[in-house]
Amino acid sequence: MMVLGIDGATWDVADDLIARGDLPNIGALVEAGASWVLRSTTPPVSPCAWTTMMTGVNPGRHGITGWGHLHLRRPFSSADVAAPWIWEWLGAAGLRVGAFNIPVTYPATPLSGFMVSGEIGTVHYDRRMFYPPELFDAAAGHAPDYPLPAGEAKCQIVAVERLQLNADTRQELATWLVAQRPVDVLLANVNYVDYAQHGFFAAAQEGADNLVHWAYRRADEFVGALRALAADDAHVLIVSDHGAGPIEGRVNLPALLRQLGLLAPAGRSQRGRVLWALRSLALTLERRIGLLRRSRLVRRARRSLTGQAYDWARTVAYPVPAACGVALNLPGRSPHPAVRPEERREVALRVARAIEAVRNPVTGGRDLRATLAEDVYYGPHVAFAPEVLLAPREYTWGMLSADPGSDHIFLTLQEAAALRPGNPTWEGGHRMEGVLAIAGPGVAPMAERARAEIADVTPTILSLLGLEAPDGAFDGAAVAHAASGETRAVALDAWAPAGAGATYSGEDAEQVERRLRDLGYY
């Protein structure tokens, strides 16, 4: 079996390219099997979505609720995943698995087979990225240049060169690994479609031959190269963690919360604005001046100024743009908590209602749909999420963390770029609707494309392999089954997180945070 991920892929783009004959490998899979619109997590943020896809449980159970930990204030790592991965279930069934470039898998953890960690959360291209670690030595000899992502100048020429190298090296390393270390199940992902859509989605809408279409064609080549290594009777799945669409504008979340009386900048006069301006300067220096990107002084200044930019004693809620959310100022989250734990739901409801009542002057509508995390997540780790999750105009508007003292809340893309110079300017953002296609024995074409939930993927993989986990193991359900109809039980005895104790050092966390900021996620 092969489960091939194309981060951010959407049928809105893929269907047109399939109809034109531009995606022969993906098109053949869709024609031979069945396809679904795959509904992502709320919000459709990659770490939450991929972890739900590859564990079969919601963020409240697996604990990955965004890009970073609210309490520990660092990016999530493999050590934070609090539910068994699909490869642990497959290993318990005696199957060998290859996991390639799946998010939230750094540092790499033991499994029956091999692992190459997901590129965004990886610190360096080194042995910690691989399991077994010695696999890096052989891989580096075969693929010595494996560039990790960085967001810099939004320029077609620069982006093409960067994405070309990303696509080449991912395909080269993945195919080499499968040839060198055969496995029963391969789980592999590429990210460059998502990168291209973030930067250049407007051109894709115009129907021009552009970088987005190029990225889909390269992903199709990736699918074809790996499928050529699979057995003729193997099941092949195409999946994405979320979809994509154009961004119409951005919401300055700190300014919105200040206007609602929920967030207090540090000082009502010049002090708060000066602190925020200094923070913005430190951030711009980090991005624009290469030597200062490695300066601990600049990084520490930015972190310190961020913490001082709010008057925490008078702040009820603060923005978490990377998780499309608003967090309450609870104990453990700031030097001066303003909300008692027993008030959590009451205050969260008040915050959500206040946000939803705000009218967007650009569109004239009340565009900020707000949902309580505890109403969509369940499990022991709901408290890791921001209490209020936002969907600005169904994610057609993006988040922005700019000066809380600003009077500008709803910004066009041009206004947002002027407000935060040096930041990546996204034309595209995430949507709830991703892709799922399955071809192989027992999977018959359907008259119409159906809908599935992202938590359905793990139980579907097991079911296609004739495996059945205990009741309650997953939040999703299988949407396709083994041709024989026969199943055997698989169970995990005394499961514990495989990566316990292996997390980011302070310097590692700063490196990953810088990459997330460069890519526009922080």
**Alpha carbons 280 and 302: distance in angstroms, whole number:** 8
- Per residue, the 3-state secondary structure of 497-522, as one string, reads CCCCCCCCCHHHHHHHHHHHHHCCCC
Number of other residues whose CB lies within 10 A of the CB of residue 202: 15
pLDDT digits (tens, 9 = 90+) for 42-68: 999 999 999 999 999 999 999 999 998
Distances (CA, A) of 225 to 25, 179, 454: 9, 11, 25
pLDDT value at 340 more than 70: yes
pLDDT above 50 (res 485): yes
With bands split at pLDDT 50, 70 and 90, how would you rate the model's confidence at 301?
very low
Alpha-carbon distance of 30 to 40, in angstroms, equals 20
Residue 155 pLDDT: 47
Tell me the pLDDT tens digit for each residue of 221-234.
999 999 999 999 99
Query: In this predicted structure, what is the pLDDT of residue 421?
Result: 67
- Rounded to the nearest integer, the mean pLDDT of the chain is 88
* C-alpha–C-alpha distance, residues 128 and 11, integer Å: 35
Contacts of 368 (CB under 8 A, 6+ apart): 251, 256, 355, 356, 358, 360, 390, 391, 392, 393
Instruction: Give the tens place of pLDDT for each residue, 127-180.
Output: 999 999 999 999 988 888 888 876 544 444 446 788 899 999 999 999 999 999
Per-position DSSP letters for 93-108, written without gaps between them = TT--EEEEEETT-PSP
Q: What residue segments make up the domains of the chain, in order of their start?
A: 2-247+430-518, 249-265+310-425
- Residue 152: the pLDDT is 46
Separation CA 15–CA 47 (nearest Å): 26
pLDDT band for 514, please (50, 70, 90 cuts): confident
In this structure, which topology does domain 2-247+430-518 adopt according to CATH?
Alkaline Phosphatase, subunit A (3.40.720)
Tokens coding 17: 């390219």
Residue 455 has pLDDT above 80, yes or no: yes
Q: What is the pLDDT of residue 294?
A: 46
- pLDDT at site 149: 79
pTM recorded for the entire structure: 0.92
- Per cent of the chain over pLDDT 90 is 70
